[in-house]
């Protein structure tokens, strides 16, 4: 009876304390409430292999006006986290009598609920895959692999717009901790490893270490909308730099095109020079080859003159007139030989003039541009073929050397033509004089009387004496022609080498121009392409315009935030010590009072 009386007193006291608040709350519930925003935090626990174990959502309602509210969700059950009032759940409809301010309640998701990500976790011990529970307390090399992918059974909006931050902690006592693609940082007594998975990306992550007495607190995964701030101001400078690079490559290509044109002209000039030089060389060789015959004929004529002069000086009785009668024929033969030599000199002069004109034009066609070491280095760093550039530089240096040498010896080249003209004229004149002498001598012999032999002997004596000087000059001339022919062979070899070099240069510059043209075509739109890539990157990773979507129901409105907090189970050693049971706390007045209701 006494116990019954106490219960009645407690009930009456409780009614007196809570009845005013219940009455006022009930009156407020009759009115329709109003919310300004709704936040959802999705909590999920995973097994050690990544398989979903449990999932629930904590909803936060910002209540601007107290009263009856309706929220939606595919919950198996709901729980009020704000006060002790019950929530009314009817299918996917949750009715709430909420006071003004923040109102929290938990919704436990149905069993068939799917996370937006497929998460697979595997464990290896010394290269052998094992289940997580077998690792507890083990020693060896442990590797933890985490694979993330889109879950085709869930709404793709979260996979495409949410960033995953995956973190795990390993004991600081573990050795050789590595994380491919992750960031490792100290966190007290542990090393914290953090991975970031960008929206829409599937990743394979890995962390490994040499462990002893292995324990693992599990993997924490947070998923939030990607709101990475992207500053595009520096990117504008970058595109400007790319524009300058593109313009520089265009100018380089134009310069190489001009170089190609000049080198082509130089190559044509060098080829003409080589052909003219070959003709000149052949003419010199022929002239040098016939010089010995001319010298031999001249020597025979000199001997004949000496013999005739000697015979005439001994008197008419001892003179052999048959030898004298042979003299006009010998002089005519020598005159013909000199005439042929003069014709050869004229042909030589013509060929030389053509060759010298081609040489002069080709040498003058070599550009006077001077390439600095900085310009050569810039050309090498432009991306062009280094072998081609080196050939170009070597040929450029050789061409400049040839031009410098030509300037020094140009006077000698220019003096050859008038000299050949003078020598040819002199030889022609000598040939004519000898022909005249031969004709006059032949006529004199036909009409000769013994009284005229004195004058003839005197004339022949003078001719014999002077002919020695002529013969010496002719020998020196032929010797000079031989030396010139020999020296010019070396010059012709150099000219032929120059022609071959310019041909290689022309080919190399052509390849270089093809390369710079291709480079120009590939880079002329580089600034626009780069800007397009930047825009696509910003579009892919900047989710600042993303509108949150309720995870629990598409009917929910005014959703301002949806976040995911995911945790895997830990790997722990079994505790062998039996925990002592804590003594039951003695219930106080308020505990007993609350139990009544």
- What percentage of the chain reaches a pLDDT higher than 90? 32
Distance CA 82, CA 27 (A): 19
pLDDT in tens, 218-269: 999 999 988 755 555 555 566 666 667 667 777 777 777 777 677 777 777 6
Rounded mean pLDDT, 436-441: 70
| Model pLDDT, residue 562 | 95
Task: Give the highest mean pLDDT range of 217-226, 338-347, 383-392.
Answer: 217-226
3-class DSSP assignment, residue 188: coil
Query: Given the DSSP bridges, would you call strands 52-65 and 34-46 parallel, antiparallel or unpaired?
Result: antiparallel
Check residues 246 and 215 and name the one with the higher pLDDT: 215
Per-residue confidence at 305, pLDDT binned at 50, 70, 90? low
Query: Given the DSSP bridges, would you call strands 559-568 and 34-46 parallel, antiparallel or unpaired?
Result: parallel
Q: Which long-range contacts (CB under 8 A, 24 or more apart) does 137-140 make?
A: 137/213, 137/214, 137/215, 137/573, 138/211, 138/213, 138/214, 139/211, 139/212, 139/213, 139/214, 140/210, 140/211
| Model pLDDT, residue 12 | 45
Check residues 180 and 305 and name the one with the higher pLDDT: 180
Tallying the residues shown for the chain, one arrives at 597
Rounded mean pLDDT, 529-542: 64
| Model pLDDT, residue 361 | 73
Rounded mean pLDDT, 527-551: 71
Rounded mean pLDDT, 65-90: 94
79 with 105: CB under 8 angstroms? yes
Quote the tokens at residue 513: 């121009």
- What percentage of the chain reaches a pLDDT higher than 70? 58
207 with 193: CB under 8 angstroms? yes
Per-residue confidence at 327, pLDDT binned at 50, 70, 90? low
Does position 28 have pLDDT exceeding 50, yes or no? Answer: no
Does position 476 have pLDDT exceeding 80, yes or no? Answer: no
Does position 15 have pLDDT exceeding 60, yes or no? Answer: no
Rounded mean pLDDT, 525-537: 66
Does position 595 have pLDDT exceeding 80, yes or no? Answer: no
Taking the whole predicted model, whether its pTM rises above 0.85 is answered as no
Per-residue confidence at 25, pLDDT binned at 50, 70, 90? very low
| Model pLDDT, residue 577 | 46
- For the CA atoms of 109, 216, 224, 52, the dihedral, rounded to the nearest 10 degrees, stands at -30
Distance CA 84, CA 34 (A): 21
Per-residue confidence at 23, pLDDT binned at 50, 70, 90? very low
pLDDT in tens, 113-150: 999 999 999 999 999 999 998 899 999 999 999 999 99
Does position 180 have pLDDT exceeding 90, yes or no? Answer: no
Per-residue confidence at 10, pLDDT binned at 50, 70, 90? very low
Does position 393 have pLDDT exceeding 80, yes or no? Answer: no
Per-residue confidence at 551, pLDDT binned at 50, 70, 90? very high
Per-residue confidence at 14, pLDDT binned at 50, 70, 90? very low
Give the dihedral sign, CA 386/388/393/394.
positive
Count CB atoms within 10 A of the CB of residue 336.
14
What are residue 128's DSSP bridge partners?
125
Per-residue confidence at 549, pLDDT binned at 50, 70, 90? very high
| Model pLDDT, residue 590 | 55
């Amino acid at each position: 009876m006494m116990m019954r009386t106490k219960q009645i007193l407690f009930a009456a006291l409780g009614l007196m304390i809570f009845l005013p608040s219940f009455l006022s709350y009930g009156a407020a519930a009759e009115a329709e409430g109003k919310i300004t925003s709704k936040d959802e935090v999705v909590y999920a626990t995973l097994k050690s292999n990544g398989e979903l174990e449990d999932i629930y959502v904590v909803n936060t309602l910002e209540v601007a006006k107290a009263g009856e509210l309706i929220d939606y969700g595919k919950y198996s059950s709901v729980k009020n986290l704000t006060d002790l009032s019950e929530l009314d759940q009817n299918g996917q409809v949750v009715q709430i009598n909420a006071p003004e301010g923040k109102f929290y309640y938990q919704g436990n998701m149905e069993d068939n609920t799917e996370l937006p990500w497929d998460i697979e976790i595997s464990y290896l011990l010394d290269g052998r895959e094992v289940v997580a529970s077998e690792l507890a307390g083990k020693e060896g090399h442990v590797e933890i692999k985490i694979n993330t992918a889109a879950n085709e059974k869930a709404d793709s909006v979260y996979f495409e717009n949410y960033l995953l931050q995956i973190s795990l902690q390993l004991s600081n006592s573990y050795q050789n901790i590595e994380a491919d693609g992750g960031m490792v940082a100290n966190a007290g007594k542990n090393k914290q490893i953090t991975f970031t998975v960008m929206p829409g990306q599937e990743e394979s992550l890995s962390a490994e270490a040499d462990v002893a007495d292995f324990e693992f607190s599990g993997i924490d995964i947070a998923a939030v909308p990607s709101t990475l701030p992207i500053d595009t101001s520096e990117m504008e400078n970058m595109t400007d730099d790319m524009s300058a690079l593109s313009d520089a490559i265009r100018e380089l290509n134009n310069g190489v095109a001009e170089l190609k044109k000049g080198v082509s002209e130089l190559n044509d000039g060098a080829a003409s020079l080589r052909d003219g030089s070959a003709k000149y060389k052949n003419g010199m060789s022929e002239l040098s080859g016939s010089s010995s015959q001319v010298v031999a004929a001249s020597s025979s004529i000199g001997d004949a003159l000496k013999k005739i002069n000697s015979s005439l000086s001994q008197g008419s009785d001892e003179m052999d007139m048959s030898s004298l009668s042979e003299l006009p024929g010998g002089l005519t033969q020598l005159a013909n030989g000199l005439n042929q030599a003069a014709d050869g000199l004229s042909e030589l002069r013509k060929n030389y003039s053509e060759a010298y004109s081609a040489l002069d034009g080709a040498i003058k066609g070599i550009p006077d541009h001077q390439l600095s070491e900085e310009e050569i280095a810039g050309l090498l760093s432009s991306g062009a073929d280094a072998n081609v550039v080196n050939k170009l530089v070597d040929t450029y240096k050789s061409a400049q050397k040839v031009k410098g040498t030509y300037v020094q010896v140009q006077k000698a080249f220019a003096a050859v033509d008038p000299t050949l003209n003078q020598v040819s004229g002199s030889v022609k004149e000598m040939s004519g004089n000898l022909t005249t002498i031969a004709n006059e001598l032949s006529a004199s012999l036909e009409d000769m009387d013994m009284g005229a032999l004195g004058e003839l002997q005197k004339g022949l004596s003078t001719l014999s004496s002077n002919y020695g000087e002529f013969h010496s000059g002719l020998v020196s001339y032929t010797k000079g022609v031989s030396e010139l022919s020999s020296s010019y062979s070396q010059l012709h070899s150099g000219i032929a080498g120059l022609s071959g070099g310019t041909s290689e240069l022309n080919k190399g510059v052509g390849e270089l121009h093809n390369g710079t043209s291709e480079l120009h075509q590939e880079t002329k739109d580089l600034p626009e392409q780069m800007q397009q890539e930047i825009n696509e990157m910003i579009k892919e990773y900047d989710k600042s315009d993303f509108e949150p979507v309720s995870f629990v129901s598409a009917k929910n409105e005014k959703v301002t935030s949806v976040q995911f907090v995911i945790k895997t189970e830990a790997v722990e050693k079994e505790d062998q010590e039996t925990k002592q049971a804590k003594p039951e706390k003695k219930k106080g007045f308020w505990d007993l009072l609350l139990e009544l209701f």
